Amino acid sequence: MTGAASIVAVVAVALAAAAPAPAAFTAEQRATVDRTIADEMRRSGYPGMVVGLWSPRGSYVTAQGVSDIDTQAPIDPDQPFRIGSVTKTFTATLVLQLVERGKLRLADRLSRFLPKVPQAKRIRIRNLLSHTSGVPDLTQGINARVQLFPEASWRPGQLIRLTSLQPSQCAVGDCFFYSNTNFVILGRIAEMVTGRPLAQLYERRIFEPLGLEQTSFAPGTSVPADIVHGYIEVAPASITDTTGWNLSWAFSAGAMVSTLNDLHTYARALATGRGLLSERMQTRRLRFVPLRLTGRVFRYGLGIAKFGTYLGHNGQVPGYGAMMLSSPDRRATLIALGNTAVTFDKLGSGTPPDPDLFGIADKLREVLAGDGGESARRARDARPPG
């Protein structure tokens, strides 16, 4: 869930610091952004990357590299990617809609649905949404098998049972522990209370209302024919194509596919709640818990993260990285998608990926702010010590 995350802090602070008067990105700024992304792709081994920035200053979409190493086909901004844990925002939205309809309550105990999960009598829906359940992360128990048998199929119940064999990370509500299992459980609960498959629920309640025609729930090996190929390095100079890997293990925690344009539309709806949730429910969703992770202040609400004034999520599955953020205050949105990511043994459980992984944030903030670097220096000075 690292992946294209640099553009996160990058553009977030850059757009936040921009002058209020609308002004398009200059040719020099665009060229510098392109050059910076190309430099990072070389350092991090990304075959390709697409990035979109939208703000009152204008918009800029750039695509660099290839979507298929074998054919050397250039990457296209309209191509779909796997988006990893950005999926969690869709699942949380669906669950909150069910709360609004009276099918669920945030205070409902997990024991009502899955009584065999450890601490199920204490875990509530809101704990699952906010990663305060103490439930272990499923990747800890299945990573070796997924790497050995990447095309194997996993059932949600099987994943939940295997995770239940591991010790709880902490008492319910006593800690923030980022666990994919929380959202696999939430996906199963949504199916249980509606009697409908998740794919249908996402389609009817989120994709169709927002017009997300290129977004789909793809938990198996079936993906769009034009999807960008994903790659991981399994050994030095040994690259594996992960495009056909079975992502049933990620289920409602990370198995969605989408495009830059669809995520642009969805990111704005997610950040404001418009077209998805009532104003009252959106307010409840955005009650954040401040956390000190990766050397910076990070906040997490109900299936949504906050970085400064920007709301959204990042995501990673083997072969793909994604970042989606939008700021209602700044009327700015940024999406970054790349086609490589670390393999399972480097995916850390317990904390979400650092939103500033590329190490190019200061450079792009300075370029996009267009103020000679003053805003970037102010941002550096304001960082919490890490």
The structure tokens listed for 22 are 């609308």
Q: Mean pLDDT throughout 227-231?
A: 96
**So what's the pLDDT on residue 258?**
98
**So what's the pLDDT on residue 145?**
87
Report residue 380's pLDDT band, with 50, 70 and 90 as the boundaries: very low
Q: Mean pLDDT throughout 88-96?
A: 98
Q: Mean pLDDT throughout 289-313?
A: 80
**So what's the pLDDT on residue 174?**
85
Q: State the residue for tokens 């299945």.
A: 142
Q: Give 335's strand partners.
A: 52, 324
* Residue 346, domain extent: 6-382
**So what's the pLDDT on residue 11?**
41
**So what's the pLDDT on residue 251?**
97
More confident residue, 36 or 187: 187
More confident residue, 29 or 266: 266
Rounded CA Rg of the chain: 20
**So what's the pLDDT on residue 47?**
93
**So what's the pLDDT on residue 22?**
44
**So what's the pLDDT on residue 187?**
98
Q: In this prediction, what percent of the chain has a pLDDT beyond 70?
A: 80
**So what's the pLDDT on residue 349?**
59
**So what's the pLDDT on residue 359?**
44
**So what's the pLDDT on residue 269?**
98
The structure tokens listed for 267 are 């990111």
Q: Mean pLDDT throughout 75-96?
A: 97
Q: What residue type is 15 in one-letter code?
A: L
**So what's the pLDDT on residue 295?**
58
Q: What is the pLDDT of residues 20-47, one digit of tens each?
A: 444 577 888 788 778 878 887 887 778 9
**So what's the pLDDT on residue 262?**
98
- 63 pLDDT exceeds 60? yes
**So what's the pLDDT on residue 363?**
53
| Structural domain includes residue 33 | yes
**So what's the pLDDT on residue 289?**
80
Mean pLDDT of the chain: 83
| Structural domain includes residue 155 | yes
Q: What is the pLDDT of residues 239-252, one digit of tens each?
A: 899 999 999 999 99
More confident residue, 308 or 337: 337
Whether 336 contacts 342, CB under 8 Å: no
- Going across the sheet that includes 296-300, the strands are 73-74, 58-68, 48-55, 332-338, 320-327, 310-317, 305-307, 296-300, 289-293
**So what's the pLDDT on residue 53?**
84
**So what's the pLDDT on residue 165?**
85
Task: Please tell me whether residue 215 adopts helix, strand or coil conformation.
Answer: coil
More confident residue, 357 or 72: 72
- 192 pLDDT exceeds 60? yes
- 5 pLDDT exceeds 80? no
| Structural domain includes residue 271 | yes
| Structural domain includes residue 1 | no
Rounded to whole angstroms, how far apart are CA atoms 182 and 253?
A: 8
Q: Mean pLDDT throughout 281-303?
A: 82
Q: Strands of the chain (E only): list them.
A: 48-55, 58-68, 73-74, 81-82, 216-217, 231-235, 238-241, 256-258, 289-293, 296-300, 305-307, 310-317, 320-327, 332-338
Tell me the CATH number at 51: 3.40.710.10
Number of domains in the chain: 1
